[in-house]
Amino acid sequence: MSTITTPKSLASAAIRGVQWTTAASVATALMQIGYTAIMARLLDPASFGLVAMAGVVLRFGTYFAEMGIGHAIVQRSTISKDDVRASFTASLGLGAVVTALACLLAPLATFFLNNEAVVSLVRFQSLGFIFVGLGMTATSLLRREMRFEVLAKIEVAAYILGYGGVGVTLAWLTSKGMIPVSGVWSLIAGTLAQQLLVALMSYLVVRHSMKFIFQWNAYKQLLGYGSRVSIISFLEFINGNLDTMLIGRLLGPVLLGIYNRAYMLLYLPMYFLTNSLARVAFPAFSKVKDDVVRVRSLYLTSSTLVATLVLPLCAGVAVAAPELVEMLLGPRWAASVPVLRVLCISIPLSMTTLFAGVVADARANLRQKIILNVEFMLLLASLFGLLRGFGLAGIAAAIGTGEVVRTFLYMRITHNDIGIPYRRLFAIYIPGLINAAAVGTSILAVTLLIHPLHLPAVLTLLVQMFTGAVVLGAVVLRWPSPELRAPLQQLLSRLQQLSAMPAAGQALLIRYEMFLERRKSLLFSFDPLSSSVPS
């Protein structure tokens, strides 16, 4: 049983969780850059290509090996020893079954990839399903208890020891001729070592029961919930890659490359925030899923906070898209500018609907979520077919339109499930749209002013970034939304405790804290939106 019961303790745990998961994601990304740079000097490109091919085949097995059992452990209000034993037995058993199937069916991969070398790689790398199954229960229990500090340390340590220790060492030995095997095996060995280390270290922290259990009643609820989560994950995987598959098939590799570079420019920075929020949000919502009032409050706060920060960021990217593309991709990629601008609409919408999906998972409202994903898949495919004649602009418009519709579909689910009025759901976007208008207008004005100077793209981009940061900071500090006031007050308290803070700085912080309190009192005395949420 978790000790996180009060709203204050849950909020504190969630904030710490986001901090630790974000730190781990950033650290892992930096280490991955270094790891890739080192391995690229030790191995030939063919090794990376073979591993990528094997990864495509094994990715489909992931949805059947996990079966949403980890989600089920996190989501349940209470768990027993039999639940833990059933989770461990099922996770390890499913991992073994999928590994056996991958080994048996690996030759079929040659029909799709036309490379016999992939067969042995798929068979060896499929051992990862067993390793993941071995540690899934322990990592799920850590997530359930919101011990994200421990998880972050485990992930970073496993990455260093697995990829850095095992992978790099084997690649170096192979490059020196000290091991008579292909260098591709060092990449797979590093991956398997990282997966095994995560499993072992997580278990050493939790030390749950490893006794098998074979009573159906112990599995019924876990697999009933988990199988539906697995179906949803598979549908979301298809929806997330449908654009790539259809653009490549309908428009060819050149336009797919242009689209992909525009997408990755915006997606990568958003991924770190999305990944951190999603990992923390699900256990947080699961703890209060039966308290509808708290679920409403947490959902509105989280969604409004994300919209408040992400919408102005995307507005700035949309205005500065020409300079951003020229600086980061080069002048040959100018065709990706309109695509990037359309994506500045769809990606922030997908991020704000993240919490609606998490609430549906936490409250086991999975049937509606399955229907939504099927509807979205059919809609997106239809829009691609209708608008493909307009080239990349048409595809981007299809994605943007589809994301708008999906936002409405999630609003419908949220309204029906936890009773938030549509007016309040639309109001989530108001602070973000105001901030986006301020940031976008200011960057556009500055761009028009400095355009006659014909500055290099890098200087223009720096001016745009500085302008956007200053305007966003001024708007957020002067007119903070209710969702931002609590984090701001926490930051002020920490700054006031710094011994190096000068007296003038302390006085300024105190004045600003008093300003926040006055705004809080004013908004509390008259908040027309809060009265619209039924209790």
**pLDDT greater than 70 at residue 522:** no
- Estimate to the nearest angstrom the gap between the alpha carbon of 485 and the chain centroid: 25
Q: Is residue 65 part of a domain?
A: yes
pLDDT band for 487, please (50, 70, 90 cuts).
Answer: low
Can you tell me the distance from the alpha carbon of 10 to that of 288, in angstroms, rounded to the nearest whole number? Answer: 9
Region of poorest pLDDT, from 173-187, 325-339, 409-423, 490-504 = 490-504
Is residue 240 included in any domain, yes or no?
A: no
The answer to which of 89-103, 433-447, 485-499 has the lowest mean pLDDT is 485-499
Name the range with the highest mean pLDDT among 109-118, 221-230, 373-382. Answer: 373-382
**Are 319 and 365 in a shared domain?**
yes
Give the C-alpha separation, 397 to 402, whole Å: 8
Q: Rounded to the nearest 10 degrees, what angle do helices 127-144 and 45-66 cross at?
A: 60
Is there a single domain that holds both residue 174 and residue 293? no
> Rounded to 5 degrees, what angle do the CA atoms 52, 55, 60 make?
145
Question: Residue 161: its pLDDT value, please?
Answer: 94
Q: At what angle do helices 184-206 and 7-42 cross, to 10 degrees?
A: 160
Q: Judge whether 251 lies within some domain.
A: yes
State how far the Cα of 477 lies from the Cα of 35, in Å rounded to an integer. Answer: 40
Span of 143-157, 216-230, 315-329 with lowest mean pLDDT = 216-230
Q: How far apart are CA 112 and CA 148, in angstroms?
A: 40
Q: Structurally, how many domains does the chain consist of?
A: 3
**For residue 345, is pLDDT > 70?**
yes
Residue 17, Cβ neighbours under 10 Å: how many? 24
Cβ pair 506, 496 in contact under 8 A: yes
Q: How many Cβ atoms are within 10 Å of 213's Cβ, its own excluded?
A: 18
For residues 117 and 181, the answer to whether their CB atoms sit within 8 Å is no
Q: What DSSP string runs through 1-62? A: --S--SHHHHHHHHHHHHHHHHHHHHHHHHHHHHHHHHHHHHS-HHHHHHHHHHHHHHHHHH
Q: Which of 440, 448, 488 is nearest to 468 (CA)?
A: 440
**Cα dist from 131 to 24, 118, 148, 203, whole Å:** 21, 21, 21, 12
**Do both 285 and 434 map to the same domain?**
yes
Amino acid in position 9: S
What is d(CA 306, CA 298) in angstroms, rounded to the nearest whole number?
A: 12
Cα–Cα distance for residue pair 141/504, rounded to 1 Å: 47
Residues 482-494: what's their mean pLDDT? 69
195 and 292 co-located in one domain: no
- H helices then E strands: how many in the chain? 23, 0
pLDDT at 529 over 50: no
Final residue belonging to a domain, choices 214, 237, 259: 214
* CA terminus-to-terminus distance, the chain: 27
Query: Could you tell me if residue 331 is inside a domain?
Result: yes
User: Does 156 lie in the same domain as 26?
Assistant: yes
User: 38 versus 485: which is more confidently predicted?
Assistant: 38
Q: Is the pLDDT of residue 366 over 60?
A: yes
Place of tokens 């008259």: 526
Contact (CB, 8 A) for 213 and 82: yes
Question: Residues 91, 92, 95, 100: what is their CA dihedral angle, to the nearest 10 degrees?
Answer: -150
Residue 34 identity (one-letter amino acid): G
If asked whether residues 255 and 118 sit together in one domain, one would say: no
The pLDDT of residue 500 is 65
Query: Phi, psi (5° rounding) for residue 462?
Result: -65, -40
The answer to whether position 417 is within a domain reads yes
433-476 confidence digits (pLDDT tens): 999 999 999 999 999 998 888 888 889 889 999 999 999 888 88
Residue 113's pLDDT is: 58
302 lies in the same domain as 410 = yes
* Region 309-319 average pLDDT: 89
Do 109 and 46 have their domain in common? Answer: yes
Q: Select the more confidently predicted residue: 519 or 238.
A: 238
pLDDT for residue 528 is more than 50: no
Whole-angstrom Cα distance, residue 395 to residue 85? Answer: 48
Residue 135: per-residue pLDDT: 92
Q: Is 350 within 8 Å of 307 (Cβ atoms)?
A: no
Q: Residues 217, 85: contact at Cβ < 8 Å?
A: no
Q: How far apart are CA 474 and CA 478, in angstroms?
A: 6
At residue 352 the predicted structure's pLDDT band, cuts being 50, 70 and 90, is confident
297 Rama class: left (phi>0) / alpha (psi -120 to 50) / beta: alpha
Compute the distance between CA of residue 59 and CA of residue 236 in angstroms, rounded to an integer: 13
116 assigned to some structural domain:
yes
Tell me what pLDDT residue 142 has: 92
Domain boundary among 428, 458, 488: 458
pLDDT of residue 8: 60
Residue pLDDT, tens place only, 374-427: 999 899 889 888 887 887 778 778 888 888 899 999 999 999 999 999 999 998
Q: What is the pLDDT of residue 157?
A: 94
252 and 385 together in one domain: yes
Q: What is the pLDDT of residue 533?
A: 41
pLDDT of 338: 84
Return the percentage of the chain with pLDDT > 70, whole number.
Answer: 85
State whether residue 453 is helix, strand or coil: helix
Q: How confident is the model at residue 112 (pLDDT cuts 50, 70, 90)?
A: low
User: Does residue 236 fall inside a structural domain?
Assistant: no
pLDDT tens digits along 237-257: 787 777 777 776 677 767 777
- Strand boundaries in 348-442, DSSP class E: none
Q: What is the mean pLDDT of residues 87-116?
A: 82
User: Residues 257, 353: one domain?
Assistant: yes
CA distance 394 to 402: 12
pLDDT at 197 over 90: yes
Give one DSSP letter per residue of 395-413, joined into a string.
Answer: HHHHHHHHHHHHHHHHHHH
* pLDDT (mean) for 510-531: 59
- How much of the chain, in percent, has pLDDT values that exceed 90? 20
Would 473 be classed as within a structural domain? no
8-state DSSP, 179: S
Q: How far is CA 358 from CA 184, 209, 298, in A?
A: 38, 29, 11
**Range 496-524 average pLDDT:** 68
Domain of residue 503 covers 480-535
**Domain end (from 392, 425, 458):** 458
User: Over the range 89-100, which residues count as b (16 or more CB within 10 Å of their CB) and which as e?
Assistant: bbbbebbbbbbe
In this predicted structure, the answer to whether residue 525 has a pLDDT above a threshold of 60 is: no
* Mean pLDDT, the chain, whole residue set: 81
Q: Alpha-carbon Rg of the chain, whole angstroms?
A: 25
> 258 and 380 share a domain?
yes
User: Does 281 lie in the same domain as 187?
Assistant: no
Nearest to 98 by CA among 69, 71, 133: 133
pTM for this predicted structure:
0.75
Can you state the angle between helices 366-387 and 354-362, rounded to 10 degrees? 150
- What tokens appear for 481 in the block? 């939304």
